Amino acid sequence: MKAIDRAEVQQKINSFAEADVYLHLETTNGAYATHNDESFFSAGAYIRNALIRYEHGKIVGDGPFRVGLKLEIGWVYGEGLTHFEIDDQGRLLLAGLDFTGKLAVALQISPSPFE
């Protein structure tokens, strides 16, 4: 993966608009805060192969970045994104790494289901 290039990511987001695509969205505690206190409540979210269709999407920020996808009845957001890859299957893979290099958030869009 390489550091996010907003123009390249935006172009790929645009290419998936108004099409059925599969979404993978995952967060860990690192997406919002890093705490050394063992009493800190642990939270995360995970969804894989959600079939969605978005009207439009946008990447914003100066880094870390936020991606929003406008659905017919709401929004999907991923925040804290730092890196991306467009793989050989044409999937957009976005990741947010914390200051230690660990995955904090992943937002991935694919024209076919993820394995």
CATH number at residue 64: 2.70.180.10
Short-list 63, 57, 99, 101, CA closest to 79: 63
Per-residue pLDDT, averaged over 36-62, amounts to 84
> Nearest 5°: CA angle at 37, between 36 and 39?
145
In a domain, 96, yes or no: no
Domain range for 73 is: 1-32+45-77
Nearest one of 19, 16, 9, 24 to 114, comparing CA atoms = 24
Specify the number of domains making up the chain: 1
pLDDT in tens, 8-48: 999 999 999 999 999 999 988 654 455 555 555 667 888 99
Report if residue 37 sits inside a domain.
Answer: no
